[in-house]
Amino acid sequence: MELAYYSDYAVRLVNTEEPARNKDSLTSVDAVRELFGANGQAARRATDADVTRFRSVRARLRAVFEAADGGDETLAVDLLNSLLLEFPVSPQISGHDFRDADGKPDWHMHLADHPSNATAGYTAIAAMGLAFHLTSYGVDRLGLCESAPCRNAYLDTSTNRSRRYCSDRCATRANVAAYRARKRLETERTAETGRGAETGRSAETAQPTTPRTER
């Protein structure tokens, strides 16, 4: 399993909150456990105390995306490094459940669960995955959705670095909004042109004529 896979941990956590919409789905220990996905063993370690801890980590991870989205590469790296130092990973070589054509283990790097608590384990994995993505593809591959008021985090894996939205839904909504804005502008310009032409004709009609002098 590639380490880049773990970068999704960071995205999932950051997107549990939509600040502009005043929405927050990270409100219970069950919500925390859902973030672990198929990693049930790690999820079972979560307690009510992890809700507050996860929210704190979420704010720090969002700050990384905000710095990257704003073009401040150094700040993004510094913020991510602070998480890596505070929540170190435990890498292991693993081959479980993966076999090649000859039936031999398909050895790959795996990030082991952190023994202390659910937050530490999740953060270590999320930070390392994000760091791997950043160093492999570039800081500009970390973004925030441009479809206001969404601002969800995303990882750009497009070939031409063209991604601007977190989902197809947001991309469609933004395109529709842009289309409507263009049509509104065209209508306003047409109306202004019509009013200008009408004003010109009125001015010609109202133009006083010079009286002819009889001799």
Instruction: Point out which residues pair with 18 in neighbouring strands.
Output: 23
Burial category of 174 from C-beta neighbours within 10 Å (exposed 0-12, middle 13-18, buried 19 and up): middle
Q: What is the pLDDT of residue 187?
A: 79
Go through 44-81 and write b for each residue having 16 or more CB atoms within 10 A of its CB, e for each that does not. Answer: ebbeeebbebbbebbebbbbbbbbbbeeeeebbbebbe
Q: What is the pLDDT of residue 206?
A: 56
Report the C-alpha dihedral over residues 51, 55, 56, 58, rounded to 10 degrees: 140
User: pLDDT digit of tens for each residue in the chain (215 aa)?
Assistant: 456 678 999 999 999 999 988 999 999 999 999 999 877 788 999 999 999 999 999 999 999 999 999 999 999 999 999 999 999 988 888 776 667 777 788 787 777 766 678 999 999 999 999 999 999 999 999 999 999 899 999 999 888 888 899 998 998 887 877 677 788 777 777 777 766 656 666 655 655 555 555 54
Q: What is the pLDDT of residue 182?
A: 83
Q: What is the pLDDT of residue 154?
A: 95
